[in-house]
Structure 1
Amino acid sequence: MRTAWAIAALAASLLLGACSEEKVAEMPPPFALTEEAMGRYCGMNVLEHAGPKGQIILDKIPEAIWFSSARDALAFTMLPEEPRNIAAIYVSDMSKAPSWDQPGAENWIDAKTAYFVIESQQRGGMGNEEAVPFSKESDADAFVAKHGGRVVGFNDVPQQYILGSGAPAQGDDEDPVSPEGEPHNMGAHHHG
């Protein structure tokens, strides 16, 4: 009787474990960045731009939608006209990037787990403000110490920062302010 009970318990735990693994497996793995990757919004080769990149994989579509910046990948998730059936959002892991100019072809991180540096002095590949992703908070903090900005999680990246103009107007002497009243200047040194 004990043997039958042990077998039943083992079978139940294996089934529960399989359910957990199946849930994890639902998120498709990232694609490696290649020369064929064209940016969704710029229509240009993603490799031609410096800084972190992004890719989004939709449900039941076995290919990546590429972005020349991590910021553009985040914008995709905020724009009402874009598809909502997102299976995975990956951004370059700048904790593992060889350099800003060459952020790497295979060092991707789930955007929902990344530490993003926003409002820094470092510009993305298209010359706009960037949301710079890191897998390690200590690396994000070190980036802030060098380039300014502040560290936020995926759910705390302000929509205005991502969808705003990306740069202060020429000739502005004052720091622009977002509708939420937060400073929106590249040179601001905010950390939170």
Structure 2
Amino acid sequence: MTLSKKIRPLMVAIVLIITACGESPSELTLVQHAVKVESGDECHQCGMIIKHFPGPKGQLYQRGTEQVLKFCSTRDMFAYLLDPEHQHAIQTVYVHDMAQTSWDAPDDEFYIDARQAWFVIGHRQQGAMGPTLASFAEKEIANRFAKEYGGTVLAFEAITQAKISGRETK
């Protein structure tokens, strides 16, 4: 066996190791996926039992951990992930696609990548502890929801602490 034939497997292994260190969120979805919310699961932000409330829920993974953090509402999830203490560590984020499931009891089969979702803030529907952000996979459906229930349609990147707290409406 020539030297180049011996080095090639080693080079492939090194490339794979280096690539794994820079995993993108889409590659991690194979490992970090949304899971079923069990009847006794508590919201990581407020401690309330998640299943007791209507509206979209959220889940996220932080870098370096396999534990999924579950939230009783998209508002609580954003409050957590926008906190400067946590913001840098967020790896993967999921929310319900409310076009696919009922508002009163969201089905855990319909989680989507929150970074690709569209959110309606300031609408009349109530979630856990009041206002929440309605989440949708498609902007057109988010616009229809906003037309029916009020509110403003925003992309994931446009959501700030001021907006979720009601200090900034647009």
Tell me if TM exceeds 0.5: yes
**Residues 82 and 158 (structure 1 numbering): CA distance in 2 closer, same or farther, change over 3 Å?**
closer
Q: Which residue of 2 aligns with 1:171?
A: none
Answer with 107-116 or 117-126: which moved more. 117-126
Task: Provide the identity percentage.
Answer: 33
Q: Which residue of 1 aligns with 2:139?
A: 137
Amino acid at match of 1:95: A
Q: CA deviation at 1:83?
A: 6.3
CA displacement, residues 113-172 of structure 1 (integer Å, 9 cap, x when unaligned): 000001111222211x2111100112111111110111110011232122x2x5xxxxxx
Q: CA deviation at 1:109?
A: 1.0
Q: Which residue of 1 aligns with 2:83?
A: 79
Separation of aligned partners in 2, 1:122 and 1:157: 18
Q: Secondary structure at the match of 2:60?
A: strand
Answer with 27-36 or 88-97: which moved more. 27-36
Map of 1:16-55 to 2, 5 A cutoff? Answer: 23=24, 24-27=26-29, 28-55=32-59
Q: 2:95 aligns with which of 88, 91, 94?
A: 91
Q: CA deviation at 1:52?
A: 0.5
Q: CA deviation at 1:86?
A: 1.7
Q: Which residue of 1 aligns with 2:152?
A: 150
Q: CA deviation at 1:110?
A: 1.0
Structure possessing the higher radius of gyration over alpha carbons: 1
Q: Which residue of 2 aligns with 1:58?
A: 62
Separation of aligned partners in 2, 1:93 and 1:126: 20
Preserved CA contact (<8 Å) 1:73 1:89: no
Amino acid at match of 1:131: L
Q: Over aligned residue pairs, what C-alpha RMSD do you find?
A: 2.4
Map of 1:3-18 to 2, 5 A cutoff? Answer: none
Amino acid at match of 1:26: L
Q: Which residue of 2 aligns with 1:109?
A: 112
Q: Secondary structure at the match of 1:103?
A: coil
TM-score by length of 1: 0.69
Higher helix share: 2
Q: CA deviation at 1:108?
A: 0.7
| Unpaired stretches in structure 1, ≥5 consecutive residues | 1-11, 167-177, 185-189
Q: Secondary structure at the match of 2:109?
A: coil
**Residues 137 and 75 (structure 1 numbering): CA distance in 2 closer, same or farther, change over 3 Å?**
same
Preserved CA contact (<8 Å) 2:60 2:90: yes
**Aligned positions, number:** 150
Preserved CA contact (<8 Å) 1:68 1:126: no
Amino acid at match of 1:57: Y
Q: Which residue of 2 aligns with 1:8?
A: none
Amino acid at match of 1:107: F
Q: Which residue of 2 aligns with 1:122?
A: 125
TM-score by length of 2: 0.77
Separation of aligned partners in 1, 2:68 and 2:148: 32
